Each structure stands twice: as C-alpha cells, then as structure tokens.
Structure 1
Amino acid sequence: MTESAVAPDPDVLLALRALSNPVRLQLISWLREPERHFPLEGAIADPAEVGVCVSHIQAKVGLAQSTVSAYMAELQRAGLVRATRVGKWTHYRRDEQRIAQLVAALGQTI
C-alpha cells in the first residue's frame, strides 16, 4: 500500500464477508420483515421486538440447524444481527443501527 492508501475498515470487511454468502444474504433480507417471512403461530416471542427463533429460520431455509446456527453466528460476529435467548431458544433480529453505519461506511469507501 502507498502512503496515501487507507486500509479498509476491518468491521466493513467482516460484514461484507458475512454478506458474501447468498444464504446469509437471504437470511438478513428475510429478517427485515420477520412477520412476512416467518410464521407467527408457535412463536414464543414477538419477532419484531425479540427476533425470530433459529428453529423457524431453519425450517424456512431448509438447512441443518447446525448450518443455520453457524450462518447466524457469522452474521452476529459481523454485527448485522443480535441474538436474544428466550428459554432454551435463540432468537435473531437485525441490528438496524449497525446496518445503517455499514451502509454509510460503504458510501464513504466505494
């Protein structure tokens, strides 16, 4: 890198890496409107407030629970979703503030 080159923000790189997988990108998209994409019957928490149970995400995407959990963990490490435990179940919802920061950072970077 030259002196004038600025190293990319590691948080932006982490988020872009998480979103580079088409399934993870689809998951974050579905979580934008959880009431539309996930069944409300059987939900033990409000999907908009608490998030969507990983078992509901797994049922919709049709992948193994371990795969879905790994994908959601990647999105969480990137700061794109937040996890909340309700009993023995983990619920995920988008971190809209972090996503807005990422979009702003991308606008300044590219």
Structure 2
Amino acid sequence: MTTRVESEPDVEQLLDVFKALANPVRLQVLGWLREPAKHFPVERAIADPDEVGVCVSHIQEKLGLAQSTVSAYMAVLQRAGLVRATRVGKWTHYKRDEARIAEVVATLGRSL
C-alpha cells in the first residue's frame, strides 16, 4: 500500500490555518460569517452580506474590541485563506472563502 506524504506547502498552509483558528475570537468570527444575516445587522449593511461580506465596523461593534485589533484578527484569517476582503467605498467587508475552507478540510482529511 502506498501512502501519500503531504507536500511542504500543504503542511505550511494547514499550520497557518491552525494558527488562525487557535484564537477563540477569530474562530467565533469565522463562525458568525457562516450565517452573516443571523449575526449582523443586515438593515445597516451598505452591501449584501451574503454576496460581499460583513463590514469590519459591524464585526468590531459586535466584538466590542478596538478597530485595530479586529483588523489584525481579520488579516490573520485572510492570510490563512479563510476569508476574503472586499472594499466598498472606504469600508472593508469580509466573507468566508468556502472553497478554500473545503480545500483545508479535504487536506486535513488526507493528512490525518
């Protein structure tokens, strides 16, 4: 029987994901972004949260943390490939990258 050894890029990508998800606040935000209309004020959104994502100011308001802290958390999730950022005017919106998340789950399944 032949076993497949994960390539270095696969391992590095998984480590980035694990590091991003090791913080309970980032994990919670990623969970909220799964169903944005359920967790964020859709009536105050300037863009469709299902299509474009949730404004960082709404994430910050819900968390009750400083804007710089929330932006840093979102940047970690973005670098790990778990969310995508889209600018709408002067606002940054974040949306889960479902294809990338599915890829991570598949890689994890092959690795363990």
Partner of 2:25: 23
Task: Report the aligned-residue RMSD.
Answer: 1.5
Report deviation, 1:41. Answer: 1.7
State the alpha-carbon separation in 1 of the partners of residues 43 and 57 from structure 2: 13
> TM-score scaled to structure 2, two decimals?
0.91
Report deviation, 1:42. Answer: 1.6
Partner of 1:98: 100
State the alpha-carbon separation in 2 of the partners of residues 16 and 108 from structure 1: 16
Would you say 1:74 and 2:76 are equivalent positions?
yes
Partner of 2:53: 51
Would you say 1:108 and 2:110 are equivalent positions?
yes
State the alpha-carbon separation in 1 of the partners of residues 53 and 111 from structure 2: 31
> Size of the alignment, in residue pairs?
107
Q: Report the AA paired with residue 93 of structure 1.
A: K
SS of 1:12's partner is helix
Runs of 4+ in 1 over 6 A off after TM superposition: none
Q: For structure 1, which runs of at least 5 residues remain unmatched after alignment?
A: none
Partner of 2:63: 61
Q: For structure 2, which runs of at least 5 residues remain unmatched after alignment?
A: none
> TM-score scaled to structure 1, two decimals?
0.93
Deviations along 1:35-90, one digit per CA (max 9) or x if unpaired, are 00000122100000000000000000111000000000000000000000000000
